[in-house]
Amino acid sequence: MKFWIPAAVLVLAAIGLALSPVNEYFFYASYIVLTFVVLATAWNILGGYAGYVNFGTAAFFGLGAYTATVLFKWLGAPLVVQIAVAAAVCGLLGFGVGLLTLRLRGIFFAIATVAVIFIMETLMINWRYVGGATGLQLLRPEVMAPFETYTRMLFAAMAAMAVGAVALARWVQVSWIGRGLRALRDSEEAAECAGVPTLKLKLFACTLSGALMGAAGAPMPMYLSFVEPVSSFNLTWSVNALAAAMIGGTVHWLGPVIGAVLLGTLQQVVTVTISNEVNVLVVGVLLVLFVVVAPEGVLGLIKRWLHYFR
Amino acid sequence: MFFSLDLLFEALMFGVLLGCFYAAVSIGLSVSFGLLDVPHVAHPAIMVFGSYCTYLLASYGWDPLVAGTVLMAPFFLLGMLVYRFYYETFEKRGTEAGVRGLAFFFGIAFIIEVGLILGFGVDQRTVNAPYIGESLRLGDYRIPHRMLVAFGVALVLTFVLTLYLSKTFTGRAIKAVAQDEPALRLMGANPVRIKQWAFGIATAASALAGAMLIIVGPVEPALDRLYIGRTFAIVVLAGLGSMTGTLAAGLILGIAESIVLMFFGASWAPAVAFGILLLVLGVRPQGLFGR
Amino acid sequence: MAALLQVKDVSKHFGGFTALAGVSIEIAQGERFGLIGPNGSGKTTLINCISGTLRNETGSIRFQSSEISRLPAYQRTRLGIARSFQVPRPFHAMTVLENLLVPFAYVAHRKERDAQGEAMEILRRMGLADKAQALSSQLSQVELRKLELARAMAARPRLLISDEAMAGLAGAEVDEVLKILFDLNASGITVIMIEHIMQAVMRFSQRVVCLDAGKIICEGTPTEIVANGDVQRAYLGA
């Protein structure tokens, strides 16, 4: 209950905001920040809880975007269906990638995820139906009442998705699944010998993580009215998800949320005031800084300060 | 696309040259990741950085190959520093920290890439030299001189490094530290100093590889992303730590890519390296000559 | 009555190196079994093959009359085989108590609330009760070894394999761990002990097997083993 009441309040607040006369740019920018929250939370299930650091976010995010595109172009499917099917397809990809590579050591798994990104990107570049290398323009459907603009509706939808993703991550964390993931992160061999079915748990984490990332990618084509391979599968999505989770703190579901909000907001500010490229520099520098100096992230720093003042 | 023996032969020839080039570019990673187990995903980024350094020196009139060779010295020192930092911060503290080391190098790769964009812009850069632009005529086929230069340098680099690792004392110590670090310690050698030295050599090789990169074709800051696939595919296919394996794997990749390029077009070529990588990881993760 | 554990003709290679070459052992229910041998003789490899951490290439391993050599490690644990690790591998982000909650959740399928009491009981038997909320980084060597055994016990095993639980420990600490193993055996658990500390093996074991270079070179009572020429040669290299 302690979680669900604030969560419900947040969703209602988001919807309320979307209906209020706030500057349109706020929704435009916040949508990206909320996307980061979902991506970082999803990444953390496999990368943080299980300890399998990976760079594959862009593959699932991009595939989610393209699945939604295909559904929209072929069937005129509504957003909810796009998101649901994208989640299913990307969950399947997560399962497949996991099956292929989770038996391998950490870095091989990470590199394999990069390989999946480029293979997906190449497939989309060569697929005429979705526009190939030049991409596809998409006409947004009529916006659903009571929202004034499509962006506002997407904002509300993404806010709901963020809360949902966090709720799922929280459930995994406190359940016996989370206990098992933490055990296999600390020592996979000892976990196996303690009765933990490590491969099954890793596959579960991979599938759930992939599904959530796909869901986050699905509304993107509608958000941009445009979909194109290079930006959809850009490695920057991967570095942002990873950095947000590691900067925020990987042991608790709050970590990715804090990291995503901090990083996302900072990036929006930097993009507007300086440039888009410096954005990526900011992420890189912060990631390296935290990984070296504060490996437990913002959450870890808060814990230390609290201890210090007790 | 129509199949003809002529085209196939041309693709094969080009593939061999390309393959040797790829092998030379991956040799540094063979040492740093294959032998030293450092999760060095920033290797291609450092190489691209080397390309841009070559570009800078070339704009002052230096021959790119000379520039690349000269750059090996400062890059050697850079490599030693990077390894020292990595070791002190991550490797010393065990496997949990090893995972963070991966994130560390990922961040470094991005910082380098963006740094290059900020410094040089996103446009492609090239260099000029007497051997760039000219081609050798062999019957009906034309082989660009720059490919021959890359081929030659690649062979020399691989040969020298293989010789160094098997014949010299330090070289053998490097191989030893990869196989059995505690034993080496018992023999009185300092494994950290040896690994530092090895990483320096790997980075120096990257400098030369970077020079070759910009000789062979135009470079842009995001090029490192593509080469992550190529270099890791080669190192994994070779089997970690095998120098001759790197050459063999490079040839396989070069020929495969060349054939795909010839018969399926440029839009499919980038996926070849990543496809081979996934295939090897799924079917035979220890590679061809793996430990 | 069939043996609890039957290892028959088990072999394991690592590249060109033969770690185990056709090893056969039978262990009876309730037995105290000692496994000795010089470093590199294959003791831990054999244990890894029994617990499932490694797969044996040839031969069969039968536990309670069913073949287990194709099963993944976690299923063997659920069947009743538990082991400790030579170099302790605690779940370092968890407290001592939480370490035990893992096998309770995954082997006994207990909810965490219910398992806490039983876990504390095990810690009490091990003498770790006052360290229940400590992190593994705060434990001494002997406490880490006890945690390894406690965690193995939380899986409610019928067979416990103790892999050099006393390595590097001094006099009184060795006695502490030995007493724990004796008590566990008294409560019905079959124990395989791998040790270098000869006096511990001799006091504890009813039967001892000596491995050298992947093969069994001697099998018998502690006194027989100590007197055996091959064993002496293997250890002293004469």
pLDDT tens digit sequence for B61-71: 899 889 999 99
A199 reaches C (C-beta below 8 A): yes
The answer to whether the Cβ–Cβ distance between A111 and B282 falls below 8 Å is no
Residues of A in contact with B123 (CB under 8 A): none
A189 reaches C (C-beta below 8 A): yes
B274 reaches A (C-beta below 8 A): yes
8 Å CB contact between C211 and C43:
yes
C112 reaches A (C-beta below 8 A): yes
The span from the first CA to the last CA of chain A, in angstroms, equals: 28
pLDDT for A1 beyond 80: no
Which two structure tokens, joined as six digits, stand for B123? 């446009």
pLDDT for B100 beyond 90: no
Mean pLDDT for all residues in chain B: 87
A195 reaches C (C-beta below 8 A): yes
Instruction: Give pLDDT, residue B190.
Output: 82
The answer to whether the Cβ–Cβ distance between A295 and B97 falls below 8 Å is yes
When pLDDT is cut at 50, 70 and 90, the band that residue A102 belongs to is confident
The answer to whether the Cβ–Cβ distance between C90 and A182 falls below 8 Å is no
Q: Which residue has the tokens 């019928």?
A: C158
pLDDT for B1 beyond 60: no
The answer to whether the Cβ–Cβ distance between A191 and C82 falls below 8 Å is no
The answer to whether the Cβ–Cβ distance between B267 and A288 falls below 8 Å is no
Which of A101, A116, A235 is facing B225, going by the closest CB pair?
A235
Kindly report the pTM of this predicted structure.
0.91
Closest CA to B198 of B48, B74, B24, B34: B34
A274 reaches B (C-beta below 8 A): no
Instruction: Give pLDDT, residue B189.
Output: 73
Mutate to test the interface with A, among B278, B284, B286 (most CBs of A within 10 A): B278
A90 reaches C (C-beta below 8 A): no
How many CB atoms are closer than 10 A to CB B279? 14
Which of B100, B226, B281 is facing A108, going by the closest CB pair?
B281
A243 reaches B (C-beta below 8 A): yes
The answer to whether the Cβ–Cβ distance between B229 and A283 falls below 8 Å is no
The sign of the CA dihedral C33, C37, C39, C41 is: negative
- Residues of chain C with confidence (pLDDT) below 70: 1-2, 236-238
pLDDT for A20 beyond 90: no
8 Å CB contact between B83 and B195:
yes
Number of A/C CB contacts below 8 angstroms equals 82
Half-sphere exposure of A20 (CA within 13 A, CB side): 8
Which subunits sit against C, judged by 3+ Cβ pairs under 8 A?
A: A
Most confident of A20-29, A165-174, B101-110, C176-185: A165-174
* Strand residues in B139-231 grouped as ranges (E): 141-144
A197 reaches C (C-beta below 8 A): yes
The answer to whether the Cβ–Cβ distance between A53 and B102 falls below 8 Å is yes
A246 reaches B (C-beta below 8 A): yes
Residues of A in contact with B114 (CB under 8 A): 277-278, 280-281, 284
Number of A/B CB contacts below 8 angstroms equals 118
A100 reaches B (C-beta below 8 A): yes
DSSP string, chain A: -TTHHHHHHHHHHHHHHHHS---HHHHHHHHHHHHHHHHHHHHHIIIIIS-----THHHHHHHHHHHHHHHHHHH---HHHHHHHHHHHHHHHHHHHHHHHTTS-HHHHHHHHHHHHHHHHHHHHT-GGGTTTT-EE----PPPTT-SSHHHHHHHHHHHHHHHHHHHHHHHHHSHHHHHHHHHHH-HHHHHHTT--HHHHHHHHHHHHHHHHHHHHTTHHHHHTEE-HHHHT-HHHHHHHHHHHHHH-SSSTHHHHHHHHHHHHHHHHHHHHS-HHHHHHHHHHHHHHHHHH-TTHHHHHHHHHHHHH-
Q: Which amino acid is at C21?
A: A
Question: What is the C-alpha to C-alpha distance for residues C163 and C181, in angstroms, rounded to an integer?
Answer: 12
Instruction: Give pLDDT, residue B287.
Output: 82
Which subunits sit against A, judged by 3+ Cβ pairs under 8 A?
A: B, C
Q: Could you say which DSSP state residue B34 is in?
A: I
Which of B96, B110, B282 is facing A239, going by the closest CB pair?
B110
Instruction: Give pLDDT, residue B139.
Output: 72
pLDDT tens digit sequence for B108-159: 999 999 999 999 988 888 888 877 777 777 777 778 888 888 888 888 888 8
Instruction: Give pLDDT, residue B2.
Output: 59
The answer to whether the Cβ–Cβ distance between B267 and A122 falls below 8 Å is yes
Mean per-residue pLDDT for B92-116?
Answer: 83
Mutate to test the interface with C, among A193, A196, A203, A303 (most CBs of C within 10 A): A193
Query: Which residue from B minimizes the CA distance to A114?
Result: B229
Question: What is the C-alpha to C-alpha distance for residues C99 and A102, in angstroms, rounded to an integer?
Answer: 24
State the nearest Cα–Cα gap between A171 and chain C, in angstroms: 15
Query: Which residue from B minimizes the CA distance to A123?
Result: B268
The answer to whether the peptide bond before residue B44 is cis (omega within 30 degrees of 0) is no
Question: What is the C-alpha to C-alpha distance for residues C172 and A254, in angstroms, rounded to an integer?
Answer: 46
Instruction: Give pLDDT, residue A200.
Output: 94
Mean per-residue pLDDT for A19-41?
Answer: 91
Instruction: Give pLDDT, residue B79.
Output: 95
B267 reaches A (C-beta below 8 A): yes
A187 reaches C (C-beta below 8 A): yes
Q: Which residues contact B95 (CB under 8 A, 6 or more apart)?
A: none
pLDDT tens digit sequence for C147-164: 999 999 999 999 999 999
